[in-house]
Structure 1
Amino acid sequence: MHQLAFGIEKSNLPFIWVVRKRPVGEGQMDDIIPPGSIIGALKFGRALIVFSGASADQGLNARLLHGRKVGLEIERNETNGSFTSDLVAETIRQVMMEPKGEAIRANAWAMREIFDNEELSNNCLDGFTRFIEEFAPSGCHSQV
């Protein structure tokens, strides 16, 4: 965590960093979908600096967002997973300011049309629900 903090400081950009406390109880919705998550950032068209750090899904999310070019993953040492504050600062500057990050910023901005579209979201959710209901084994349908 220190390397992240030092890297943010070295970027010389204004930054607000909120560190969440580890969850006390399990099974709470905030543990599953924390406020200010990836979807929230994309809803507002924000380019992401991603890090495959503490939780199991972060690596998958980081690679997915990096691959879709809406975020840039902080490079890590392939042998031991370490990273430096200099790499953190470089990644932040690239995404936020440099011409090299312009495509990432543009792609993230374009994501607003998808993630901020309530009708599209509802249609996708309805389609997914129908799919589950259609292909679920018999006896698994809930009686509503």
Structure 2
Amino acid sequence: MLVLASASMTAMWSASAAKQAASSEVQPAAGAPRFETEWKKLATTLRESGMSIVERASLTRRRSDLMLIRSCLEWEPESFPLLAKLGGKPIVPLGLLPPSPEGGRGVSKDRDDATVRWLGAQPAKSVVYVALGSEVPLRADQVHELALGLELAGTRFLWALRKPSGVQDADVLPPGFEERTRGRGLVVTGWVPQISVLAHGAVGAFLTHCGWNSTIEGLLFGHPLIMLPIFGDQGPNARLMEGRKVGVQVARNENDGSFDRDGVATAVRAVAVEEENRRVFVANAKKMQEIVADSECHERCIDGLIQRLRSFKE
């Protein structure tokens, strides 16, 4: 069995792999920016144990009997039929496997956490929660542009920041940033109880890298998304969510993927401040929330997987 993330991302990679096999070149995915295609080229050239990431994934897929997709037909109705044609294997949806809304430790147990206490002092739906995951931290210059963009946007924010490696604590944020945003912004460089934060009534939007876990978690609570994908499946995930009109991506340089403070501020305001846009994004995020929170749908997917696995014994 091969377990993968979204059906749309898997279909994109399957189509690209087929084209690559025919042409021996990395083919750009439809709608993908140039810098994302360059990242993908790295996956075809970087080798460990004599095999690239793409080669290992392709070999795993060929040797698998099933492709398990952490998604469902209700979430990606267009992509599953396409993937069934491209995958060459039986496709089994796992469901979205959302976390419990109460969180692993229980939201109530996190009430004494400093970040949750800070949120408790903020107005309802006023805070942008910022978390870009831990796998690929931003460079110091990118952290500065993101910080200055949050400052320009003028919104309240809670930022779970992973410090860039090799940077002194005093240089992580722009000079004077914390003083200028004191009272409306909080930067945390340690552990943050993400589910408790997303469940909090003060949070009104989620600035995310669009990792599959974080995307599902944000929409579990109906939050519109400000999207800043960094690597891997995050770009396709962000385009999928942008197509669902649950938020917008931060504007990027087509060639190198860089972004600036103005692009950050524009995206944050569009999702968290500008009432007409925000109304649309919130309404669509609520529609997606209904799917993520539909436990019966995800249980049906797990039941289907169990039946499929039993069929191998028969």
Q: Normalising TM by the smaller chain, what interval?
A: 0.7 to 0.9
TM-score by length of 1: 0.73
Q: Which residue of 2 aligns with 1:118?
A: 295
Larger RCO (alpha carbons 8 Å, 6+ apart): 1
Change (3 A) 1:132 1:94: farther
Q: Which residue of 2 aligns with 1:26?
A: none
1:72 aligned onto 2:248: yes
Change (3 A) 1:61 1:21: farther
Change (3 A) 1:118 1:21: farther
Give me the identity figure in percent. 41
Moved over 3 A (4+): 128-134
- The SS at the match of 1:45 is coil
Which letter does structure 2 place at the counterpart of 1:14? R
1:63 aligned onto 2:205: no
How many residues get paired?
A: 125
Query: Map of 1:94-133 to 2, 5 A cutoff?
Result: 94-98=270-274, 99-131=276-308
1:48 aligned onto 2:228: no
Distance 1:96 1:8 in 2: 11
Distance 1:45 1:74 in 2: 20
Q: CA deviation at 1:86?
A: 0.8
Q: Normalized per residue, which structure has more strand? A: 2
Question: Which sections of structure 2, spanning at least 5 residues, go unmatched?
Answer: 1-142, 165-210
Change (3 A) 1:77 1:131: farther
Change (3 A) 1:84 1:21: closer
- For the aligned residue pairs, the C-alpha RMSD in angstroms reads 2.8
Q: Whose Rg is larger?
A: 2
Residues 90-143 of structure 1: CA distance to partner in whole angstroms, max 9, x if unpaired?
A: 101101121123211110022221111212221123234545765xxxxxx48x
Q: CA deviation at 1:74?
A: 0.8
Change (3 A) 1:76 1:127: same
